[in-house]
């Protein structure tokens, strides 16, 4: 099965399309929009404490959503060819994850665990965390985020297998709506040998418990 086909590519295409629709909205216009929201919730945007708030929110949003201007494949293109014979799995656990759900724009806070089995190339460990960041800093569903990280690593590293697990709390569930403040959601996505060989998958999962 090619990871360039099927459902994953469709999802990536959707994202590419939305990010290529370059927004013509200026910072000033975005600040005005936040001013409108401040009024709408019952505030007075001209009171002293709120004067700089729209500007600050725009700056914060640039950080929350900087992933739209980043490309994970470029970051992953700097691989090391010399793996000195290392051919076992590399597991990076507990990568802090901060994203926003695309349904409520509410924070998704949790951790990601990423593993791969190198083929001929290994990548700097920080690049695994970086890949998590690039896709997190966009509006997401946890399911798609999990798949995007896995499929991007699989393709960019030409790995024998990739596993990605995300365990996160969705503030749209904990702070509003159904209000289950302890609920977290776990998603997994396995590719290559992690999918085909259950002993490899189980070994990976056993590391997560430790
Ligand atoms: Zn939501």
CATH number, domain of 116, equals 3.30.1130.10
Q: Minimal CA–CA distance to 97: which of 85, 88, 106, 107?
A: 107
Taking each helix axis from N to C terminus, what angle separates 53-64 and 27-40, rounded to the nearest 10 degrees?
A: 110
Q: How far apart are CA 39 and CA 37, in angstroms?
A: 5
CATH of residue 54's domain is 1.10.286.10
78 and 88 assigned to the same domain: yes
Within a domain: 199 = yes
147 and 180 assigned to the same domain: yes
Catalytic residue among 31, 113, 170, 201: 170
Among residues 64, 92, 123, which one ends one of the domains?
64
41 and 124 assigned to the same domain: no
Within a domain: 7 = no
57 and 151 assigned to the same domain: no
Q: How many domains does the chain have?
A: 2
Residue 86 corresponds to which tokens in the numbers above? 């290392």
Residues of the domain holding 71: 65-208
44 and 114 assigned to the same domain: no
93 and 180 assigned to the same domain: yes
46 and 69 assigned to the same domain: no
What is the Å distance from ligand 1's center to 176 Cα?
9
Within a domain: 180 = yes
Residue 23's pLDDT is 63
What is the Å distance from ligand 1's center to 140 Cα?
9
60 and 70 assigned to the same domain: no
176 and 97 assigned to the same domain: yes
Among residues 25, 48, 64, which one ends one of the domains?
64
46 and 117 assigned to the same domain: no
Work out the widest C-alpha separation in the chain, in whole angstroms. 64
Catalytic residue among 102, 143, 181, 196: 102
Residue 64's pLDDT is 98
30 and 87 assigned to the same domain: no
Within a domain: 176 = yes
100 in catalytic set: no
What is the Å distance from ligand 1's center to 147 Cα?
18
Catalytic residue among 31, 100, 142, 148: 142
| pTM score, whole prediction | 0.87
142 in catalytic set: yes
Within a domain: 3 = no
pLDDT along the chain (210 residues), means of 10: 48 51 85 98 97 98 97 86 81 98 97 95 92 98 98 95 98 90 95 98 93
Q: Give the DSSP letter string of 7-67.
A: HHHHHHHHHHHHHHS-----HHHHHHHHHHHHHHTT--TTSGGGTTHHHHHHHHHHHHTGG
75 and 179 assigned to the same domain: yes
196 in catalytic set: no
**Residues in the 5 Å CB sphere of ion ligand 1:** 101, 103-104, 172
CB 108 within 8 A of CB 170: yes
């Amino acid at each position: 099965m090619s990871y360039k086909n099927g459902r994953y590519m469709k999802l990536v295409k959707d994202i590419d399309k939305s990010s290529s629709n370059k927004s013509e909205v200026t910072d000033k216009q975005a600040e005005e929009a936040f001013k409108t929201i401040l009024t709408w919730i019952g505030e007075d945007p001209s009171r002293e404490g709120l004067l700089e708030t729209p500007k600050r929110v725009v700056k914060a949003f640039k950080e929350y959503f900087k992933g739209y201007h980043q490309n994970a494949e470029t970051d992953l293109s700097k691989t090391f060819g010399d793996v000195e014979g290392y051919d076992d799995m590399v597991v990076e656990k507990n990568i802090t994850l901060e994203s926003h759900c695309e349904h409520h724009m509410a924070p998704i806070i949790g951790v990601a665990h990423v593993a791969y089995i190198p083929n001929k190339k290994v990548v700097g460990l920080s690049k695994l965390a970086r890949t998590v960041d690039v896709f997190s800093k966009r509006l997401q569903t946890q399911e798609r985020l999990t798949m995007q990280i896995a499929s991007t690593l699989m393709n960019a590293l030409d790995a024998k297998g990739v596993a990605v697990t995300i365990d996160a709390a969705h503030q749209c569930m904990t702070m509003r709506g159904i209000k289950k403040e302890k609920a977290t959601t776990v998603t997994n996505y396995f590719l290559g040998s992690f999918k085909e060989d259950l002993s490899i998958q189980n070994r990976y999962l056993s590391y997560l418990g430790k």
